[in-house]
Amino acid sequence: MQLYHHPYSLESQKVRLALEERNIDYTSYHVNPVTGKNMDPSFFRMNPTAKLPVFQNGSHVLFNTIEIIQYIERIALVSSGSGVITQSSKEVVEWMYKIQEWNPKFFTLSHIPEKYYIYTSKFLRRVIIARMSEAPDLATAYHSKLKEAYETEEKLHNPQVLQRSEQHLIKLLDEVETQLEETEYLAGNEFTLADVMLVPVLARLALLGLEEAYISCRPKLAEYWTLVQQRPSYKKVIKKYFGGWKRRKTLLKTWCIVRMRCMLKRY
């Protein structure tokens, strides 16, 4: 089994947490979306939306986060045999869909300093154009990606889009807080795949420096956040890249690559 993913990608984090929690072995391929690696023709041919993650098991290729996680769950169920692991309950699945409904894209981009966002998005557009000339048979798909990039920039200037995204997040976190008043974890007193979906959302808020504004102000959520950060899966998938000083190192490395390639005009 192969997973094409990147530590920056929130959707990838969800899938990697599920793989770690269920103890499934896989071959990992890093595809950095900020340096435009997801635009390479080899990856683009497999997934013309260029989105991460992609999970491959033989000829079976999955792109949808929930489908991948449910597939991982089935593999874990089969390999556990004796029934140590049980299938996700209706509550777990409902939470998974509820969390997946919130798209972090505009919220995240609107909290990145504008100069970094503008520089990187210009770089990515150039990468798309360069890849398009390398693989003219994929021109239509690359064109769609270019269009998407312009639309994203336009939407980022629309206060309504940003407001809707924030309101959606607040509603989700309020529902989570109400649930955590009843149970230790999201769907009961055990960590489940619903929690696997939520942890990267909280990690994203922390990464953007918004822990106070969205997590700490909700007492149960704050307790939960402290608890889930103790898990080995969290340490391996998120803390390894973004914990403490590592955050700076991880972000700086990508920023240097982007700057260098811009300076050398190597798209």
Ligand X SMILES: N[C@@H](CCC(=O)N[C@@H](CS)C(=O)NCC(=O)O)C(=O)O
Binding footprint of ligand X on the chain (CB under 6 A): 9-11, 33, 38, 50-52, 63-65
CB of 52 to ligand X, least distance (A): 4
Nearer to ligand X, 65 or 165 (CB): 65
Buried b (16+ CB within 10 A) or exposed e, 77-100: beeeeeeebeebeeebbebbebbe
Closest distance to ligand X from the beta carbon of 233 (Å) = 18
Residue 57 pairs in a beta bridge with: 60
Q: How far is the CB of 118 from ligand X (least distance, A)?
A: 17
Of residues 180 and 206, the one with the C-beta less far from ligand X: 206
CA distance 40 to 125: 13
Nearer of residues 146 and 162 to ligand X, judged by Cβ: 146
**Tokens, residue 201:** 């959302």
With the C-alpha atoms ordered 161, 163, 164, 168, is the resulting torsion angle positive or negative? positive
Nearer Cβ to ligand X (67/212)? 67
Q: For residue 127, which of 28, 195, 32, 213 has the smallest C-alpha distance?
A: 32
CB of 73 to ligand X, least distance (A): 15
The least distance separating ligand X from the CB of residue 54, rounded to whole angstroms, comes to 8
In the complex with ligand X, the residue whose CB is nearer, 66 or 222, is 66
Q: Which is nearer to ligand X, 51 or 239 (CB)?
A: 51
Which tokens go with 75? 């593999």
Least Cβ distance, residue 80 to ligand X (angstroms): 25
Residue in 57, 54, 51, 46 with CA at minimum distance from that of residue 16? 54
Nearer to ligand X, 9 or 233 (CB): 9
We find the least distance from the C-beta atom of residue 120 to ligand X, in angstroms, to be 12
CA distances from 32 to 35, 99, 243 (A): 6, 24, 19
